[in-house]
Amino acid sequence: MDLGVISVRYARALLKCSVESKVEDKVYQEMQTLAESYIKVPELRRAIDNPMIAREQKAELLKVAAGGKVSKVTERFISLVLDEMREKTVQFIANAYVTLYRQQKKITRGKLTTAVPVSAAMEQKMRKMVESRTNGTVEFSTEVNPDIMGGFVLEYDTYRMDTSVKSQLNNILKQLN
């Protein structure tokens, strides 16, 4: 069976169970933390995939990777995944859950890149603009990148607005060549 299909099935079941238990927001945070843990700590995958490590130790590792004190739903989910010997799919299930949750709650991820730090008011203004265009809420992050020299780059969904000085200079240079 395809890894993607398995991951999505488990993620859908986890989302359904977390919604019924009214802890979907907590599980969302835990699944985000778990997915980030796999990225930040590559040894986690090796430990979870290692057949020499006991199931109980894997369960504790996954709980810690999901944020430590996890909800009962996440605890049961980890137990189920390990019982079914699907530990190799945990990272994919966590990512699938995050995606399904965002779809259900109409959450869009947005990113604002500027050359210098922006005020909270400006960040809020950009967030509101994206929310009005997407008819949902936005998980917004900001990044300072002095390489763009000025202006900003706003990204969300498949949309990208680049008003940076760097890109404008590159456009002028292309026109001159």
Residue 67's pLDDT is: 93
For the stretch 118-173, pLDDT in tens is 999 999 998 999 999 888 899 989 999 999 999 999 999 889 999 999 999 999 99
- The predicted model gives 63-67 an average pLDDT of 96
Whose tokens are 């894997």? That residue is 58
For the stretch 77-97, pLDDT in tens is 999 999 999 999 999 999 999
Written as one letter, the residue type at 106 is K
Task: Please check the confidence at residue 18 and state whether its pLDDT lies above 70.
Answer: yes
Residue 149's pLDDT is: 93
Both tokens of residue 134? Answer: 């997407």
For the stretch 2-14, pLDDT in tens is 778 999 999 999 9
Residue 11's pLDDT is: 97
Residue 1's pLDDT is: 53
Q: How many CB atoms lie within 10 A of CB 109?
A: 13
- The predicted model gives 108-120 an average pLDDT of 93
Residue 96's pLDDT is: 97
Please tell me the distance from the alpha carbon of residue 63 to that of residue 78, in angstroms, as a whole number: 8
Please tell me the distance from the alpha carbon of residue 48 to that of residue 63, in angstroms, as a whole number: 12
- The predicted model gives 29-56 an average pLDDT of 95
What global pTM score does this model have?
A: 0.81
Please tell me the distance from the alpha carbon of residue 71 to that of residue 24, in angstroms, as a whole number: 10
- The predicted model gives 21-41 an average pLDDT of 96
Are 50 and 34 in contact, with CB atoms under 8 Å apart?
Answer: no
